[in-house]
Amino acid sequence: MDKLASILSAENKKPRLFYGYVMVALGFILMLIGYGSIGSFGIFFKPILLEFSWTRAITSGALSLNLAVQGILVIFSGRLTDRFGPRMVVTAAGLLLALSFFLMSQITVPWQLYLYFGILGGMGQGSMLVSVVSTVARWFDRRRGLMVGIVSAGIAGGQLVVAPLANQMIINYGWRTSYLILGIITLMILVVVAQFFKRDPSQIGQLPDGAGREIQVDSGLESTGLSLREAIYTRQMWMLFIAYFCFGFFAIAVLSHIVPHATDLGISAVSAATIISAMGGLGIVGRIGMGSAADRIGPKRVLTIGFILTTAMLFWLPFIKEQGMFYVFAGVLGFAWGGSIAVLSPLLAESFGMKAHGAILGTIMSGGLLGSAVGPLLTGYMFDVNSNYQSAFMVLAILSLISLILTILLKPYESAGSMKTA
C-alpha cells in the first residue's frame, strides 16, 4: 500500500527535473566510456603485433572470443538486472572492464590476451549493455524509442571520442601505459556513474514520462507482459533471434573487412579508415533519428526500413570501386544500423511487455553477439579461399535479406499479453 500511495501521490507532484532524463544522460556516458574503451582494441592492434610478432589471426581471435563471451553474458545480465536492479550489475561491469585494461598492460603471451581481453573484457561489456538499455526503457513510455536511441548513440560516440584519445595516448606514452590510463578512466567513471542508476521511477515516487495514472498504478505494482519462459515458446521470439543473429553477422563482418577491401582496390589506408568514421558518425544520427521515428510510426516499421537500407547497400557493395561510393555506402549503412540497434528495446517492450524485459532483451542480443563472433571469421575464410570478397559480400547481403523478411513477417500484437504463439 505504501508503494501504491507513493505512485498515486507522484501524479500530483511536479518535480523540477524528471529523473528519467538524468538516466538517459548517465546511460549515454556509460555507453560512451564502456564501449569506446573496449572498442579501441583496433587502435592497440598494431602496436601489440609489432611488439610480439603474433599473427593477425591470433591477435584478432581475442576479439571474436570477447564477442562470444558477451553473447553469453547478456542473457544472465538481463536476468540479474530484472531481479537485483542495474546498480549492482553496472558496478560489476565497470570493475571487470577496469581489471581487463589493467591486466592488458602486462600481457606477454597470447593466452593472457585471450583471458584478459577476450574473457574478462567480454564479461564486463556483456554485463553492462542490457542492464543500461533495459533500465532506461523502464523510465519512458511515450518517448521510449527516442531516449533509448540517445543512450545507444553513446556506443557510436565512443568510436569518435575514445578511439582517437587512445591513439594519442599510445603515441605519447606507449600502449602499455595507455591501457593503464584507460583502466583508471573506466574505473572512476563507470563505477561512480553506476551509483546514480535507479531501477524504475517508482523508486523515487515518479511515473514513467508520458504514461497515464491508470496504466502506471498497475505497472508500478507489477510489471505486465510475458516471462522469458513464456516468450521463448513464441514464434516471434525466435524470428527476432535469427534476424539479429544475421544482423550481428553481417554488421561486424563489414566493420572488420571493409578497410582491407578498400585498400585492396587502391584506396589509401588513411582514406579507408575514414569509412569507419562515416559509419560511426551517421550511426549516431540513425540511433537518435530512427529511435524518435519509432515513437511515431512504431518500432517494427522503423526496423523494416533499416533492413531495407542495409540489404540494398550490401547487394551494392561488390560493385563499389570508388572512394566516394564507399562514403555513400558507409553513411547509409551506419544510419540504418544505428536505427536497427536503437529500436530493439522498444520493439521488445511493445511485443513482450516489461515483466522480463531485461532477460528477453539479453536473449535476443545474445543472438546478435554470437553472429558478430562468427561473421568476421567466416568472411575472412571465404576471402582466403577465393582471394576476394565478392562471394562473401553476397552472403552478407542474403543474410540481411533474411533479416528483412523475418521482420516483415512479424505479426502485430494487440497487447503484450495477447501474443499468438507458434
CATH number of the domain within which 324 lies: 1.20.1250.20
Inside any domain, residue 415: no
**45 and 146 part of one domain:** yes
pLDDT-wise least confident of 324-338, 382-396, 403-417: 403-417
CA 106 distance to own-chain centroid: 28
Mean pLDDT over 85-100 rounds to 91
Query: Could you give the CA distance from residue 103 to residue 97 in angstroms, rounded to a whole number?
Result: 10
**Mean pLDDT across 240-265:** 87
Encode pLDDT of 327-338 as tens digits: 999 899 988 987
* Region of poorest pLDDT, from 69-78, 197-206, 378-387, 410-419: 410-419
Number of DSSP helices (H) and strands (E) in the chain, helices first: 18, 0
pLDDT band at 108 (very low <50, low <70, confident <90, very high): very high
Among 31-45, 69-83, 185-199, 210-224, top mean pLDDT goes to 185-199
Q: Does 92 fall in a domain?
A: yes
All three cell numbers of 231, joined, read 516468450
- Predicted local confidence at residue 422, as pLDDT: 40
Considering the domain architecture, whether residues 98 and 216 belong to the same structural domain is answered as yes
Instruction: Give the C-alpha distances (Å, rounded to integers) separating 294 from 180, 194, 217.
Output: 40, 28, 25
Give the CA angle between residues 346, 347, 351 to the nearest 5°. Answer: 115
Q: How confident is the model at residue 16 (pLDDT cuts 50, 70, 90)?
A: low
107-113 long-range contacts, CB within 8 A, separation 24+: 107/48, 108/52, 110/54, 110/58, 113/48, 113/59, 113/62
What whole-number distance in Å separates Cα of residue 31 and Cα of residue 155?
A: 5
DSSP string, 42-86: HHHHHHHHHHH---HHHHHHHHHHHHHHHHHHHHHHHHHHHHH-H
State yes or no: pLDDT of 120 exceeds 60: yes
What mean pLDDT do residues 281-300 have? 83
- Select the more confidently predicted residue: 77 or 329: 329
Whether pLDDT at 312 is above 90: yes
Q: Which of 221, 254, 286 is the last residue of a domain?
A: 221
Q: 261 and 204, same structural domain?
A: no
Return the exposure string of 170-206: e unless at least 16 CB atoms fall within 10 Å of the residue's CB, then b: beeeebbebbbebbebbbebbbebbeebbbbbbeebb
Dihedral sign, Cα of residue 367, residue 372, residue 373, residue 374: positive
Q: Identify which has the larger pLDDT, 15 or 122.
A: 122
Please check whether residues 180 and 243 belong to one and the same domain. no
- What does the alpha-carbon distance between residue 152 and residue 92 come to, in Å, rounded to a whole number? 20
pLDDT value of residue 211: 52
Among 63-67, 194-198, 291-295, which range has the highest average pLDDT? 194-198
Position 142 in a domain: yes
Do 28 and 154 contact (CB within 8 A), yes or no? yes
Tell the burial category of 327 from Cβ atoms under 10 Å away from its Cβ (0-12, 13-18, 19+).
middle
**pLDDT value at residue 405:** 96
What value does the mean pLDDT of the chain take?
81
C-alpha span between 146 and 142 (Å, rounded)? 9
Whether 314 shows a pLDDT value over 90: the answer reads: yes
Same domain, 240 and 142: no
Are 322 and 367 found together in one domain?
A: yes
Grid coordinates representing 294 are 519509432
pLDDT of residue 150 exceeding 70, the answer is: yes
My answer on whether 192 and 242 are in the same domain is no
Q: pLDDT-based confidence at 418, cuts 50/70/90?
A: very low
Q: What pLDDT score does 280 carry?
A: 76
Domain shared by 211 and 264, yes or no: no
Mean pLDDT is highest, among 67-81, 82-96, 249-263, 402-416, for 82-96
421 falls within a domain: no
- Asked whether the predicted pLDDT for residue 227 surpasses 90, the reply is no
Q: Kindly state whether residues 252 and 210 are assigned to the same domain.
A: no
What the block records as the C-alpha cell of 161 is: 571520442
DSSP 320: -
Mean pLDDT calculated for residue range 264-272: 80
Is 177 in the same domain as 289? no
Cβ-in-10-Å burial (0-12, 13-18, 19+) of 95 comes to: middle
In this structure, the answer to whether residues 275 and 190 fall within a common structural domain is: no
Cell 528477453 found at:
360
Highest mean pLDDT: which range of 79-88, 103-112, 166-175, 263-272: 103-112
- The radius of gyration of the chain's CA atoms, rounded to the nearest angstrom, is 21
pLDDT of residue 39: 67
Over residues 52-77, the mean pLDDT reads: 80
Instruction: Please report, as a single letter, which amino acid is at residue 220.
Output: G
Domain contains 303: yes
- Please give the pLDDT value at position 112: 94
Domain carrying residue 22: 2-221
Which residue among 155, 187, 221 closes a domain?
221
pLDDT of 27-54, one tens digit each? 999 988 888 777 677 678 778 878 888 8
Is residue 400 in some structural domain?
yes
Domain count, the chain: 2
Tell me whether residue 417 is in a domain. no
Q: How many residues comprise the chain?
A: 422
Return the higher-pLDDT residue of 332 and 85. 332
Give the mean model confidence (pLDDT) for residues 376-385: 82
Q: For residues 52 and 117, what is the distance between their CA atoms, to the nearest angstrom?
A: 16
End-to-end distance of the chain based on CA atoms, in angstroms? 39
